[in-house]
Amino acid sequence: MQRHDCLSAAASYFDDGRFLADLRRRVAFRTESDTGTAPPALGAYLREEMTPALTQLGFECEVIDNPVPGGGPFLIARRVEGAGLPTVLSYGHGDVVSGQDAQWREGLAPWTLTVEGERWYGRGTADNKGQHSINLGALAEVIRARGGQLGYNVTLLLEMGEEAASPGLHEVCVQQAGKLRADLLIACDGPRVSAQRPTLFLGSRGAVNFSLRLRARPRGYHSGNWGGVLANPATILSHAVATLVDAKGRILVEALRPEGIPPSVREALADIAIGGGADDPALDAGWGEPGLSPAERLMAWNTIEVLALGAGSPQRPVNAIPGEAVAHCQLRFVVGTPWRDLAAIVRAHLDSHGFEQVEVQVTLEGAATRLDLANPWVSWARRSIEASTGQRPDLLPNLAGSLPNDVFADLLGLPTLWVPHSYPACAQHAPNEHLLAPLAREGLQIMAGLYWDLGDAAANTPWHAASSTSPRS
């Protein structure tokens, strides 16, 4: 069987309804992980659904309990053809955000896959059950096409807590580093830049969530009796936030601004268009760092966003000066930002502007990663995707959002290639989440092409070029 025959087989897996049947079963598992608990469905998804499917493909599967109390389990599946062969690691997550059942439009439900034209609705169809199902479906077709011998080993790590900030992921990757040892990561998550063209990204921006809080007094006081003589914490906090980011969204804290954009990153983003889809919001002119393109602001720069503000009773305002106020903020950042020092940086900045009474608390954090654009795996992947689709993929040095890519890039030391099969208007994390059928079908062919080329010396795979013979386990 030739490469084009394998891609046709991957398309047939979609066309004959097998992919739909697999995804329908997986969507039915109510695998919410962001509720503060780890429901039984998290383990059931791994044991009852994924383990049987992977075992049929020759994987040995092990479900591992989370070392962090309350965290969802992990699945490590290994398909070893030879100790001296290279290994590709894949990753996905079977957990989803809360279903928000009552908010879906009439005729739709989060735990039932509903097909309406090209849109397949259901929680997890885009994030991430649909995406890792595409990955595994393509791999299965390549295994069959090559008579059961890929010419390399495959390891899959599935977690059940990504939507809850991946508790225990770092610890498991440290504890299981031997089983996760590999030469390359290829994974599927996040959206394409647009539905019209494939996307390849090499890392992600990091994120630090932090809260600013001003506790002025234990309770509120009548604004008529005390207005003008009691400091208003909401007013003060608003001015404190305004010292961090201006009215046009530009970061004002010098230590949290990137030093610049590397020329290779700027070149990669030069032809990347943001927005313009039927369901995309219109971009706001003049918002964000001046002098940058929209793609550079999203993928190559830092932003501070105010996610929520709280003071008094917004739902039912009363005539009272609130006792305290809070602003929940987020820094999205690129490689090179001193994000671990954010609390100290913001503390010093507020102090220098006279806001010593405002408290700073970091509530969530994750690192930024970016594979070198000159890495030979990047050009290899672009060639493979173009050969499968006839289109040169959009290349992003890093995703604008955040993923736990640091465990693969930094902890495990792997080149990281991400090939998303969703699109920006998929309603990820919202009611009416959906997967676009044409993207799923094309994604199966893209992944089949990548897995085929990994075992083909003629495809100029970097590990064939290196002729590596070091033993692997």
For residue 467, the model assigns a pLDDT of 54
DSSP code, position 407: I
Which CATH number fits the domain that encloses residue 29?
Answer: 3.40.630.10
Tell me whether residue 277 is in a domain.
no
Q: Are 137 and 13 in contact (CB under 8 A)?
A: yes
| Residue 271 domain-assigned (yes or no) | no
DSSP state of 351: H
In a domain, 279, yes or no: no
**Residues listed for the chain:** 473
Using a 10 angstrom Cβ sphere, with 0-12 exposed, 13-18 middle and 19 or more buried, the burial of residue 252 is middle
Is 274 a member of any domain?
Answer: no
Query: Are 131 and 94 in a shared domain?
Result: yes
Output the CA torsion sign for 265, 266, 271, 275: positive
Q: Kindly state whether residues 111 and 139 are assigned to the same domain.
A: yes
- Residue 91, beta-bridge partner list: 157
**How many other C-beta atoms lie within 10 A of the C-beta of residue 56?**
10
For 98, residues 6+ apart whose C-beta sits below 8 A from its C-beta are: 32, 34, 35
CATH of the domain at 240: 3.30.70.360
Q: Residues 146, 232: one domain?
A: no
Question: What Å distances lie between residue 183 and 95, 107, 135, 255, 458, CA to CA?
Answer: 26, 45, 18, 35, 19
Residue 88 covered by a domain = yes
Last residue of some domain: 333, 351, 366?
A: 366
Q: What pLDDT was estimated at residue 469?
A: 42
The answer on 150 and 88 residing in a single domain is yes
Q: Which structural domain range is residue 225 located in?
A: 206-265+285-366
Do residues 372 and 362 both lie within one domain? no
Q: Which helix (H) or strand (E) holds 115?
A: strand 114-116
Q: What per-residue confidence (pLDDT) applies to 466?
A: 65
Angle separating helix axes 18-27 and 3-15, nearest 10 degrees: 60
Please indicate, yes or no, whether residues 82 and 190 belong to a single structural domain of this protein: yes
Residue 472's pLDDT is what? 42
- Which one of 328, 349, 366 terminates a domain? 366
Where a domain ends, among 366, 396, 424? 366
Within a domain: residue 24? yes
pLDDT of residue 464: 78
Is residue 432 reached through a cis peptide bond, with omega within 30 degrees of 0 on the bond before it? no
Task: Clarify whether residues 11 and 73 are in a common domain.
Answer: yes
Query: What single DSSP character describes residue 456?
Result: -
* CA neighbor of 446 nearest in space, from 110, 28, 6, 37: 6
Q: Is the pTM of this model over 0.85?
A: yes
Q: Whole-angstrom Cα distance, residue 361 to residue 349?
A: 14
Per-residue pLDDT of the chain (473 residues; tens, 9 = 90+): 899 999 999 999 999 999 999 999 999 999 999 988 899 999 999 999 999 999 999 999 999 999 999 999 999 999 999 999 999 999 999 999 999 999 999 999 999 999 999 999 999 999 999 999 999 999 999 999 999 999 999 999 999 999 999 999 999 999 999 999 999 999 999 999 999 999 999 999 999 999 999 999 999 999 999 999 999 999 999 999 999 999 999 999 999 999 999 999 999 999 999 988 888 889 999 999 999 999 999 999 999 999 999 999 988 999 999 999 999 999 999 999 999 999 999 999 999 999 999 999 999 999 999 999 999 999 999 999 999 999 999 999 999 999 999 999 999 999 999 999 999 999 999 999 999 999 999 999 999 999 999 999 888 899 877 654 444 43
3-state helix, strand, coil in the chain (%, to 5): 35, 20, 45
* Total structural domains within the chain: 2
